């Protein structure tokens, strides 16, 4: 999911795709002539003339003696020829050649979610994450030019490819077939299988050809070369170790294979044997094709999930062993305690991609994982990426909103054997309810814009009315009242119906405490406020008498957190403690109550360089605070209601 964290995702959706490859090698080939929009031709001091993007590829290929087909195919695999001047992808890649220059702040705001961690800079120092610096040395162009100017970026990528080819073969061949090993090196994989997979995708694109119009209006074309056939002997030239044979961790009912993600997209661990509990399963969608999701996770510095599930038939590829951390959730603590599952699809397209085969395969996998790691099958432990809280105040608005409002949570929980439906109604004030509006009959209007839908199926902003998994939350018990605006998204105004505006929605399966009732309306405590939703005869809720409910101990508002690290004083000497602060926009005021996990979790940190896990002396509850779960210290809360039979 290119990932930045705009301050107001309600105005513009935080880019969901973490992938530099927008279309992948399987993109449809579009025939057509080359158009004439111009790009700047760069020097050290800046652009001196203009040319089409197609011409810049040709010129860079000639100047650096790289076969033009090779250069175009590598750029297509890296970026689908998009330029995005000055903007970086989630993986810290710039321009059509996706030259990387990852910083600690990128690691904090991206899928790794390393906000507050002292080792973020060390993680970002990996040489594989800084190909832009190498390109600057080879070309003499400034880092700024390589970031901001497409022509410079293309020249930087060509120079890198040429340097790899010369190091491997001592010369620069004019035959594309001789460049397979150099292309494999460009992918920055650390094992033979990953490098080969990358090069094979590039050469498959060369064989098939590709053509497309970029977002800035450029038409670029790579003519098909069916005769391209690199020599098999090049596979032995990489000098990389073989990836260790890894068995899949899947139920026997699923078609499951293993393809390793790049090591920089996670951390080796030994969960749960090392003391890191796995107590959440996070569901995502890919915002791209199955093939591009798998390919992206093999590139350095991107994101990874433990599993990816194909839409058409429910086939599963595992990419990270469950004992290891995958970078998938945008919050390191969530990554530390969870397993991530990607589903091929687009959040804005919903049912078009979320097939029954995919739902059933995912449910089988979740049940297998839940049994293996003792994860409760409820909506505080089986969550969407959109239910993950940001790790700090600055990032609270920017965590992704997939799998989105069109994922049928009620059907999915039914497949898990824990249906959220039942006898509808509302209990007394102070009791808990489960949101259960029924997906098919629960039609809501959402506003979708092109930025929300990277599938390309939304040419202009429009309102659509479809089955959804949420109830809309309002500030007063009437349909004309403003929608509730989450404080991180709308500090000074109401919410909106924009599809990415998660703050005014309570999802199916989530549980909240009844705060008030008035006619056909029910109020719940939500994100520190009393909010209302239309609930005639309790048709959108089911009483939840077995929910655990907590409330503040005293009269002071309780601080809410996005992470659960031990206090710095609890970290042994020689290890750098992570830091955390309360989320500035959120509190639990006195008098409010929230549904929580039955057992609070110990504060925990992991130091991979030392293979050390540290547990603090404090514990934190995970509460269903709003649309997203959040954390509060156990000492600040008192239990008001426990499940029947619980102690």
Encode pLDDT of 434-472 as tens digits.
999 999 999 999 999 999 998 888 999 999 999 999 999
pLDDT of residue 124: 84
Give 488-509 pLDDT, tens digit per residue.
999 999 999 999 999 999 999 9
Residues composing the chain: 647
Please state whether beta strands 338-343 and 307-309 pair in parallel, antiparallel, or not at all (unpaired).
parallel
Token pair of 407 as six digits: 């994922």
Please state whether beta strands 470-472 and 505-507 pair in parallel, antiparallel, or not at all (unpaired).
antiparallel
Q: What is the mean pLDDT of the chain?
A: 89
Token pair of 276 as six digits: 């890191």
15 pLDDT more than 70: no
The single-letter DSSP state of residue 386 is: G
pLDDT of residue 50: 60
pLDDT of residue 642: 77
Confidence of residue 90 (pLDDT cuts 50, 70, 90): low
CA torsion sign for 446, 451, 454, 457 is: positive
27 pLDDT more than 80: no
DSSP secondary structure letters along 116-163: T-TTHHHHHT-GGG-HHHHHHHHH---HHHHHH-HHHHHHHHHHHHHH
| Helix axes 53-64 and 150-169, enclosed angle (nearest 10) | 30
Highest mean pLDDT among 77-91, 211-225, 324-338: 324-338
Decide: helix, strand or coil at residue 292.
helix
CA 478-523-632 angle, 5° bins: 140
- Average pLDDT on 345-370 reads 94
231 pLDDT more than 70: yes
DSSP secondary structure letters along 154-208: HHHHHHHHHHHHHHHHSS--S-GGGGHHHHHHHTT-SSHHHHHHHHHHHHHHHHH
- Average pLDDT on 387-402 reads 95
| Helix axes 290-297 and 192-208, enclosed angle (nearest 10) | 140
Q: Which of 545, 577, 567 is nearest to 620 (CA)?
A: 567
44 pLDDT more than 80: no
Give 599-644 pLDDT, tens digit per residue.
999 999 999 999 999 999 999 999 999 999 999 999 999 998 777 5
pLDDT of residue 41: 46
Report d(CA 558, CA 545) in Å as an integer: 25
410 pLDDT more than 50: yes
Token pair of 393 as six digits: 């105040």
Percent of the chain topping pLDDT 70: 91
| 249-269 CB burial, b ≥16 within 10 A, e <16 | bbbeebebebbbbbbbbbbeb
Omega into 272 within 30° of 0, i.e. cis? yes
Would you say 154 and 71 are in contact if contact means Cβ atoms under 8 Å apart? yes
Q: Which of 502, 501, 441, 503 is nearest to 466 (CA)?
A: 441
Spatial CB neighbours of 233, under 8 Å, sequence gap ≥ 6: none
Q: Can you give the C-alpha Rg of the chain in angstroms?
A: 25
Spatial CB neighbours of 61, under 8 Å, sequence gap ≥ 6: 67, 68, 70, 71, 158
Report d(CA 34, CA 607) in Å as an integer: 52
- Average pLDDT on 226-254 reads 89
Alpha-helical regions (H) of 568-614: none
Q: Indicate whether this model's pTM tops 0.75.
A: yes
Report d(CA 564, CA 578) in Å as an integer: 10
Percent of the chain topping pLDDT 90: 75
């Amino acid at each position: 999911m290119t990932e930045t964290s705009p301050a107001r995702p309600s105005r513009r959706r935080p880019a969901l795709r973490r992938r530099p490859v927008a279309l992948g090698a399987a993109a449809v080939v579009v025939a057509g002539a080359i158009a004439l929009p111009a790009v700047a031709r760069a020097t050290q001091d800046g652009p001196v003339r203009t040319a089409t993007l197609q011409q810049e590829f040709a010129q860079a290929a000639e100047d650096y003696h790289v076969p033009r087909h090779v250069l175009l195919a590598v750029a297509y695999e890296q970026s689908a020829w998009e330029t995005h001047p000055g903007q970086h992808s989630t993986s810290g890649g710039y321009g059509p050649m996706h030259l990387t220059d990852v910083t600690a702040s990128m690691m904090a705001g991206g899928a790794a979610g390393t906000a507050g961690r002292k080792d973020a800079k060390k993680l970002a120092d990996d040489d594989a994450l800084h190909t832009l610096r190498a390109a600057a040395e080879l070309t003499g162009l400034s880092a700024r030019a390589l970031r901001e100017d497409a022509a410079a970026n293309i020249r930087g990528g060509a120079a890198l490819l040429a340097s790899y080819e010369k190091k491997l073969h001592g010369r620069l061949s004019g035959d594309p077939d001789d460049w397979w090993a150099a292309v494999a090196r460009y992918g920055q994989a650390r094992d033979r299988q990953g490098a080969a997979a990358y090069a094979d995708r590039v050469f498959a694109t060369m064989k098939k050809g590709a053509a497309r119009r970029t977002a800035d209006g450029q038409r670029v074309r790579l003519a098909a070369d069916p005769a391209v056939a690199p020599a098999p002997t090049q596979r032995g030239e990489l000098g990389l170790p073989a990836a260790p044979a890894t068995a899949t961790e899947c139920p026997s009912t699923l078609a499951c294979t293993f393809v390793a993600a790049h090591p920089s997209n996670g951390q080796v661990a030994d969960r749960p044997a090392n003391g890191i509990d796995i107590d959440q399963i996070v569901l995502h969608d890919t915002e791209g094709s199955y093939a591009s999701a798998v390919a992206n996770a093999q590139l350095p510095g991107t994101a990874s999930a433990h599993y990816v599930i194909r839409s058409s038939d429910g086939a599963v590829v595992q990419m990270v062993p469950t004992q290891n951390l995958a970078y998938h959730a945008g919050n390191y603590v969530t990554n530390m305690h969870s397993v991530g599952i990607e589903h091929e699809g687009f959040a804005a397209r919903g049912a078009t991609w979320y097939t029954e085969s995919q739902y059933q395969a995912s449910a089988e996998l979740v049940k297998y994982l839940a049994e293996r790691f003792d994860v409760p099958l409820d909506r505080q432990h089986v969550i969407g990426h959109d239910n993950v809280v940001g790790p700090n105040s600055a990032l609270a608005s920017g965590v992704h909103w997939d799998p989105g409002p069109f994922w049928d949570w009620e059907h999915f929980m039914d497949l898990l054997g824990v249906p959220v439906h039942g006898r509808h109604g509302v209990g007394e004030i102070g009791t808990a309810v489960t949101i259960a509006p029924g997906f098919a009959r629960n039609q809501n209007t959402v506003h979708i814009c092109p930025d929300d839908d990277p599938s390309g199926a939304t040419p202009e902003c429009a309102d659509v009315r479809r089955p959804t998994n949420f109830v809309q939350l309002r500030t007063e018990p009437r349909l004309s009242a403003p929608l509730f605006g989450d404080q991180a998204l709308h500090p000074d105004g109401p919410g909106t119906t924009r599809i990415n505006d998660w703050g005014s929605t309570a999802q199916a399966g989530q549980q909240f405490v009844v705060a008030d009732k008035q006619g056909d309306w029910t109020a719940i405590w939500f994100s520190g406020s009393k909010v209302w939703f239309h609930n005639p005869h309790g048709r959108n809720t089911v009483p939840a008498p077995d929910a655990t409910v907590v409330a503040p101990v005293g009269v002071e508002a309780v601080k809410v957190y996005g992470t659960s690290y031990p206090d710095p004083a609890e970290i042994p000497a020689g290890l750098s403690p992570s830091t955390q602060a309360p989320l500035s926009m959120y509190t639990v005021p006195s008098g409010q109550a929230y549904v929580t996990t039955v057992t609070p979790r110990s504060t925990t940190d992991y130091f991979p360089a030392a293979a050390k896990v540290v547990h603090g002396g404090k514990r934190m509850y995970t509460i269903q605070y709003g649309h997203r779960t959040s954390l509060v210290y156990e000492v600040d809360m008192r239990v008001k209601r426990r499940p029947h039979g619980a102690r």
